[in-house]
Structure 1
Amino acid sequence: MFDKRKLSNLVEENQAELLDLTAKLLQIPSENPLGDTTEITKFIVGYLEKNQIPVKTYEPDPKRFNILASIGPENGKTLIYCGHSDTVPVGDLEKWDFSPFSGEIKEGYMLGRGASDMKAGLAGLIFSMVLLKRYEVPLAGKLVLAIVPDEESGGDFGVPWLLDQGLVKGDGCLIAEPSSELNPTIGQKGSCWFKLTVNGIPGHGSLSPFLGRSAIFDAVKAIEKICQVTNWEITPPDDLIELLNVSNRYLELNERSETRGVFEKITCNIGTIHGGTSANVVADKCVVAIDCRLPFGITNEEVMTRVRQMLDQLDIDYQIESFGFKSSANFTPAEDPICQAIVENITEVLDETAYGVLQWACSDARHFREHQIPVLQYGPAELETIHGFNEKVKIEQIINCGKVYTLAAVDYFNKVNGGKNEFN
């Protein structure tokens, strides 16, 4: 029989292996784009197989590999532990204070691209499965590890592909995406990415605005209209009011009071603008990429309809095309067994009260919810460094998350099996 103290001690005793695994993942570049996960996949597969865990890989797109592994009996409930092996690009190397592929430990932090998003969390999931297998911890169900290659580029060949192919099924899921230490994310805003193309009439730049019609000028008008989406009044469903209040209090407690209300409003980011061919030519085309995040109470389709209605008032020649992330706001009830298993074990490991909150962005969690699989996100992170230069994560958080993952995996089966698991 394994109790919680024994499992927690096993993580402590093997923490050097967890940290070494994290460092090795950081030392393998897996930037997306380009999206090549060949090398990191080979390493992960080798580590799992060395620990007597069978692995299957799938390559739905060249050099993008999904990894599936499982332990525990086939009968009973299935819990999915999910992570992504890709990272965003490192960007300008001169702006880093250390090598983004160092995996170095310094002043209590693990350093490198993906340290927070999300190779430390991914290492924790892999390590937890290996630990449970190595010490023959009894599981009253199947624990599945799903590692996907392209979360940072929209995820078409990762989680949704696995779910649509029927390769992954489950009754609950944890994604090791970065979060705060005490607050896993149990819901998230929707996403509406679209590309606006504005057409103009070319002419000699010396005669503008007398001749020609600038696509850039018209695009500016369109952008001013589109940015008004943040001012729309949107009424959230009644059953989300408490979760919204809790999430706003979380923002204030974590020194993000300036973002209060972000969960109730549409956000709008003008990401890129490409227009014209030369300074002395009236621009005949301007293309704008826009990222809107949607609160509960409005759908992607409703936003696009209203945006088109606004742009139709401008008398401009335009087209709109959706791309990238597309979803409505979604959540998992805090009472679900997977949420309880994670939250309760965070509270136990850290000896502080944990609770779930909303996420202002979106992730692969939406795909699991679309397939009626309850899901939440919890992972080690130095949130301010995610996607930025000098990304890092606290060593202590890596170890604590390793404990939470290991304890929660067993505790989850205890909950869904009515207390029949040998776990106290």
Structure 2
Amino acid sequence: MNVKDELIVAVEENKQELIDLVCSLIQINTENPPGDTTEISRFIADYLGKDGIDVTWHQSNEQMYNLIASIGEEGGKELIYCGHTDVVPAGDRDKWSFDPFSGIVEDGWILGRGASDMKAGLGGLLFATALLKRMGVKLPGKLTLAIVPDEETGGEYGVPWLLERGLIKGDGCLIAEPSSRLHPTIGQKGSCWFKLDVYGEAGHGSLSPLAGRNAITDAIKAIAAIRTVFDIDVDIPEEVKPLLAVSRKYMEEVEVEREKYKEILEKISVNIGTIHGGTKSNVIPDTCTVEVDCRLPFGITQKEVYAYIEARLDELGIDYAITPFGFRSNANHTPATDPVCTAIINNISYVTKEEAYGVMQWASSDARHFRDHHIPVLQYGPAYLPSIHNFDEKVKVEDVVLCAKVYVAAVIDFLQQ
């Protein structure tokens, strides 16, 4: 039996440890905001320490800790396995049918906030690294864990913080973000979040619309103009058309409930997320603030989107200001032929005996930061996709085990390439 098969068997034989680990991670509340990762960081360091894996702590913000740990040898290739410890807030507890931080197993599912995004994937990375160390596998290179505390609010204190300081480097990276079991995401759309402030002139509500200038009604006009970005016909570059074609195939044949959304891959999405304006019903509002989330396909940049929006708003003759915030990037991808992609995709097929291929993600992620630093990256992690950021989040136990098998096998292939 070769070393890959020995590792895959070992995952199966020790899967209860993996399941218990994931449950324990979910039971530690790491909602962001507020983003306190102190307790979970201690837990992770203790878990890895049991197998003699040293962890270095890097505090990037108050109560936010980045953890780095490595196994293997210097001088060869280096593979980064990356995961985030923070989760989105659970929200209204009354809308959950179970305690969001219970971390229990029920009917083949692990339940709780972060089960799919992404404590199951994080647990898989930790378990895989510990298992490789425990079994004394001689790696012809280095495997580095990069565990970050801040992804769900934009990631300022996580992956980019580490990369900008040169604390992590590598020849390839896998992020255990949620994905389909057979289809890692090798490309992401760009992101353009901005705040629109519209200014009016206050006055007595009984005199409106003859008096003052209503910032809310001007904001309504602005919103209508902004939403026309969806109608822009984007010229998709030839080099990414094969990726988009296989991604449409995926939405048509695999995640069939998403088939109706397939045009979003080539469109600028636009979501009016929040609106705040006015002080009282009988006062003409002098300010209104709107937060907008646009995701950008290949073929158009943030700069071009802002130019289009500002031109439309200028035509309205309103008084406004635009301030970017949060996620900001252009569309980006890693070629399917890159060694890190082939190592993961080939081993998904190796473990499952089914066809696997990489697809485009219609959202954005930390992957862009690695690509900005010339580190090829893809995302592959266990998930029940409809439950992500939703109430009653969960993940299948069998998918957690599958991904862990891929993680241990892919390390061998990538470092030997």
TM-score after normalising by structure 2: 0.99
Matching residue of 1:407: 409
Matching residue of 1:422: none
Q: Select between 254-263 and 169-178 the one with higher mean Cα deviation.
A: 254-263
Q: Which string of whole-angstrom CA distances, capped at 9 and with x for unpartnered residues, describes residues 187-206 of structure 1? A: 01000000000001011111
Q: Which amino acid aligns with 1:181?
A: R
On the 8 A contact 1:110/1:394 being kept in 2, the answer is yes
Hey, what's the Cα distance between the residues in 2 that align with 1:78 and 1:71?
A: 10
Q: Which string of whole-angstrom CA distances, capped at 9 and with x for unpartnered residues, describes residues 258-315 of structure 1? A: 1011111000000000000111111110000000000000011111111111110000
The equivalences for 1:14-93 within 5 A come to: 14-93=14-93
Q: Which amino acid aligns with 2:162?
A: L
Which blocks of at least 5 consecutive residues in structure 1 are unaligned?
416-424
Q: Which amino acid aligns with 1:125?
A: L
What SS does the aligned partner of 1:33 have? coil
Matching residue of 2:278: 276
Hey, what's the Cα distance between the residues in 2 that align with 1:123 and 1:392?
A: 14
Hey, what's the Cα distance between the residues in 2 that align with 1:318 and 1:109?
A: 49
The equivalences for 1:1-400 within 5 A come to: 2-253=2-253, 254-255=255-256, 256-400=258-402
What SS does the aligned partner of 1:263 have? helix
Q: Which amino acid aligns with 1:16?
A: Q
What SS does the aligned partner of 2:273 have? strand
Hey, what's the Cα distance between the residues in 2 that align with 1:232 and 1:189?
A: 16
Q: Which string of whole-angstrom CA distances, capped at 9 and with x for unpartnered residues, describes residues 138-170 of structure 1? A: 111010000000100101110001000000000
What SS does the aligned partner of 2:144 have? strand
Q: Matched residue pairs, number?
A: 415
On the 8 A contact 2:4/2:412 being kept in 1, the answer is no
Displacement of 1:60 in angstroms is 1.3
On the 8 A contact 2:31/2:86 being kept in 1, the answer is yes
Matching residue of 1:418: none
On the 8 A contact 2:4/2:408 being kept in 1, the answer is no
TM-score after normalising by structure 1: 0.97
Which blocks of at least 5 consecutive residues in structure 2 are unaligned?
none
On the 8 A contact 1:2/1:137 being kept in 2, the answer is no
Q: Which amino acid aligns with 2:32?
A: N
Q: Which string of whole-angstrom CA distances, capped at 9 and with x for unpartnered residues, describes residues 337-384 of structure 1? A: 100000011111111100000000010000000000000000000000
Hey, what's the Cα distance between the residues in 1 that align with 2:64 and 2:282?
A: 44
Hey, what's the Cα distance between the residues in 1 that align with 2:213 and 2:296?
A: 33
What SS does the aligned partner of 2:284 have? coil
Displacement of 1:2 in angstroms is 4.4
Hey, what's the Cα distance between the residues in 2 that align with 1:357 and 1:74?
A: 33
Hey, what's the Cα distance between the residues in 1 that align with 2:320 and 2:6?
A: 63
Hey, what's the Cα distance between the residues in 1 that align with 2:96 and 2:241?
A: 42
Q: Which string of whole-angstrom CA distances, capped at 9 and with x for unpartnered residues, describes residues 57-88 of structure 1? A: 11111001000000000111110000000000
On the 8 A contact 1:206/1:280 being kept in 2, the answer is yes
On the 8 A contact 1:79/1:172 being kept in 2, the answer is yes
Query: Which consecutive segments of 4 or more residues in structure 1 shift more than 6 A?
Result: none
Hey, what's the Cα distance between the residues in 1 that align with 2:56 and 2:282?
A: 57
Hey, what's the Cα distance between the residues in 1 that align with 2:326 and 2:3?
A: 44
Q: Which amino acid aligns with 1:373?
A: I
Hey, what's the Cα distance between the residues in 1 that align with 2:179 and 2:203?
A: 52
On the 8 A contact 2:18/2:123 being kept in 1, the answer is yes
On the 8 A contact 1:300/1:327 being kept in 2, the answer is yes
Displacement of 1:237 in angstroms is 0.7
